[in-house]
Amino acid sequence: MVNDQPLVLSASVEHWPIAGTFTISRGAKTEAAVVVVELVQESVQGSFRGRGECVPYARYGETVEAVVATLDAAKSSLKRGLDRTALQRAMPPGAARNALDCAFWDLEAKRAGRPVHALAGLPAPAPRITAYTLSLDTPDKMAEAAARSAARKLLKVKLGGDGDVARIAAVRAAAPQSDLIVDANEGWTAANLEANLAACAAARVSLVEQPLPAGRDDMLATIARPLPVCADESVHDRASLGALAGKYDAVNIKLDKTGGLTEALAMVAEAERLGLQIMAGCMVATSLAMAPAMLVAQRARFVDLDGPLLLARDRANGLQYRDSQIFPPTPALWG
């Protein structure tokens, strides 16, 4: 745009303590390391700033250092006019593109004086019921955690170890009224898959996420699944949807996997066309990472955007959580 200055990108690493310890089948952590992108543009209308947040994930070969390096390398492309549309081709799906894509959306909204949902041609987002995650632990410890959260409408139960049949039974007994999602994080095997699925069905679990390792999940197409099974690690963007046929009933769409809101919204439409249920998921991060995902959540059967609830504190102007509901962001946060 004439008289506009080139976009200036900065990327910073932030460490947010987790309240206690967050444990899944692959291990435990006590903090969330996130990368925050800020895009600033000076124009004749004034100075505008857009932000995005991502979580580099070792499971996908990402590191904080590599993500920051990727973003730093994009500075020269921005000077040559890289925009959000071109970004989809210039950078592969993943955490780095997610942060930059979401920063572009935020900047566009600030410049236009219109919310992101309007720019995307979507209705205004409404509050949604979000899951609250229970970390993997012993059956007794998980039952105690479930009892403390039994008033919540939707609980996500981390499994993926020996003794999962006892764990899910203990959680169900402690939270008899809550809707339950189970996430095995690739932790089950061909030997225990059917027994664990049967235990989940007996416990009235509504959905099981990623029971088998990605790339070793063909067995899901050969058994009678007693409840819906959702792909997480087995699905990233639209290009990966085709491989799910016959194995999965739902997809967990996370912006750190899709590479941002742009691809996530396109992936929602394609997944719906294929007859797959939608789950809106997240990594453990602050409200800045959850805010764009609220637009995906509007089309989701299951919403799991509880990242800030797992932290010891959230950033300023964070999302509002009330009981089991999560509310859309204000422009002071994003969008």
- The residues that are catalytic are 158, 254
Q: Which two tokens stand for residue 134?
A: 């229970």
Q: For residue 125, what are the contacts with CB-CB under 8 A and spacing of at least 6?
A: 117, 294, 295, 297, 298, 328
CA–CA separation, 109 vs 23, rounded Å?
37
CA–CA separation, 14 vs 103, rounded Å?
16
Q: For residue 311, what are the contacts with CB-CB under 8 A and spacing of at least 6?
A: 16, 17, 18, 19, 32, 284, 286
First to last CA, the chain: 21
Q: Which two tokens stand for residue 100?
A: 């930059």
Q: Look-up: residue for tokens 């593109």? A: 97
Residues 296, 256 contacting (CB under 8 angstroms): no
Residues 180, 157 contacting (CB under 8 angstroms): yes
CA distance readout (Å), 52 to 122, 182, 294 = 20, 29, 14
Q: What share of the chain is helix, strand, coil (3-state, %, to 5)?
A: 35, 25, 40
Q: Which two tokens stand for residue 86?
A: 């071109």
Q: Look-up: residue for tokens 């809101």? A: 261
